[in-house]
Amino acid sequence: MFLSIDKAAEILKKGGIVAIPTETVYGLAGNAFNETAIAKIFAAKGRPYFDPLIVHIAEFSKFEDLVTEIPENAKLLAEKFWPGPLTLVLPKKEKVSNLITGGLSTVAVRMPKKQIARDIIKLAGPLAAPSANMFQRLSPTSVEHVVEQLGGKIDGIVDGGACEVGIESTVVGFENNMPVIYRPGAVTGEMIVECLGVGSWGVGSSKLSSPGLLKKHYCPSTPFFIGLPSEVPKNCGLLAFGELPVKSGEFAEVLNLSEKACSTEAAANLYGMLHKLDSCKLDKFFATLLPPAGLGNAINDRLIKASCR
Ligand code: TXA
Ligand code: MG
């Protein structure tokens, strides 16, 4: 089940699918130019074909190979934030499979930072890789999370320890040359406008320009709610941030995303703590939102989607 980098690359080159670590979350990778491998990814995840995948690269020249044209603003963002937790959406070249893009004319591309991911991509890439979880379930930030959801359904896993960022990449496209955020992440809107010297950024509209906008996503199995209950029910949990609320003692289980109220630390802990609370056999659990700035927006986005039933 656990593979070396070389063995993983060998399996990928033959059309197999392997879970690999990145700095954001674990991805379920397959060779981007092998349609059988891509179909296996959708099947293993139970993911509908309309939800497109991200193609992962390790060199900028591969970006030019996948998209028809790279506008100046995309170049600036890639220069500043690659390798890293940023995905750029641009019009695709013919050779990029419609299976990857869900029939869209654009393709999402990311250059991850984690060295293991880069090594595997160099040997066997470009790699199409969604997060290595079942469709609409919690994203994996450790090998244990991957084994729990996909063990037995895939050709192996490369163990890279915990994911440092802990939350999926920011997905950015362009409309009339202006940046549009389809999914918030560690590269924040504020960082993007500063890099481009533009006044503001757009937010992907509900016309499903990106299925990352699907309301329900990233879900634990235990009923999960945003906000604090006026009366704390029996056997329920709390996912807190910063100073604990007065009533925290009444919860059966309390986890704190960051005692010192640091949103970077909270992002790194987010999925691990959601997985943990989900495994505690609680009747339900609650979370408080973070202050809505910077990375807080991305974390709140995942919390709200995880609470949609
Ligand atoms: O950090 C990440 O992005 C991780 C790691 C493994 O790289 N990957 C990841 O993949 O989160 P996935 O498949 O779980 O999410 C991909 C997101 C979805 O929200 C999808 O809708 C969006 O990217 N996406 C993919 N192709 C797109 C396109 N052509 N236009 C707009 N959004 C797209
Ligand atoms: Mg995902």
pLDDT category of residue 219 using cuts at 50, 70 and 90: confident
pLDDT category of residue 211 using cuts at 50, 70 and 90: low
User: Where along the chain do its domains lie?
Assistant: 5-203, 224-307
pLDDT for position 43? 96
**pLDDT for 253 beyond 60:** yes
CA of 212 from ligand 1 middle (Å) equals 7
Q: Which ligand has the minimum distance to the alpha carbon of residue 24? A: 1
pLDDT category of residue 214 using cuts at 50, 70 and 90: low
- Comparing C-alpha atoms, which of 301, 306, 22 is closest to residue 185? 301
Ligand 1, CB within 6 Å, residue ranges: 22, 24-25, 27, 51-54, 85, 87, 89, 101, 104, 106-108, 110, 112, 129-131, 168-169, 171, 173, 182-183, 209-212
Which ligand 1 atom minimizes the distance to the CA of 212? 19
Cα–Cα distance measured from residue 198 to residue 35, given in angstroms and rounded to the nearest whole number: 39
Which ligand 1 atom minimizes the distance to the CA of 106? 29
Instruction: Kindly report the pTM of this predicted structure.
Output: 0.94
Which ligand 1 atom minimizes the distance to the CA of 26? 6
pLDDT for position 218? 74
Residue ID of nearest Cα to ligand 1 atom 31: 210
Average pLDDT, the chain: 94
**pLDDT for 273 beyond 80:** yes
The CB density around residue 127, as the number of other CB atoms within 10 Å, is 29
Residue ID of nearest Cα to ligand 1 atom 15: 130
**pLDDT for 229 beyond 50:** yes
pLDDT in tens, 130-183: 999 999 899 999 999 999 999 999 999 999 999 999 999 999 999 999 999 999
Residue ID of nearest Cα to ligand 1 atom 6: 27
Structure tokens at 59: 């060199």
Average confidence (pLDDT) over 78-101: 98
Average confidence (pLDDT) over 31-41: 98
pLDDT category of residue 60 using cuts at 50, 70 and 90: very high
**pLDDT for 262 beyond 80:** yes
State the number of CA atoms in the 13 A half-sphere of 259 facing the CB: 2
The type of residue at 211 is P
- The DSSP annotation for 222-282 comes to S-EEES--SSPPTTEEEEE-SSPPGGGGGSSEEEES-TT--HHHHHHHHHHHHHHHHTTT-
pLDDT in tens, 14-32: 999 999 999 999 999 999 9
Residue ID of nearest Cα to ligand 1 atom 32: 210
Q: Which ligand has the minimum distance to the alpha carbon of residue 306? A: 2
pLDDT for position 206? 45
Structure tokens at 200: 């503001």
Q: 5-203 — its CATH code?
A: 3.90.870.10
pLDDT category of residue 308 using cuts at 50, 70 and 90: confident
Q: Which ligand has the minimum distance to the alpha carbon of residue 102? A: 1
Tell me the backbone φ, ψ of residue 196, rounded to 5 degrees.
Answer: -90, -15
Taking domain 224-307, whether its CATH number is 3.40.50.11030 is answered by yes
What residues have CB less than 8 Å from 222, skipping those under 6 apart?
A: 237, 277, 278, 280, 282, 283, 284, 285
Tell me the backbone φ, ψ of residue 149, rounded to 5 degrees.
Answer: -95, -35
pLDDT for position 210? 60
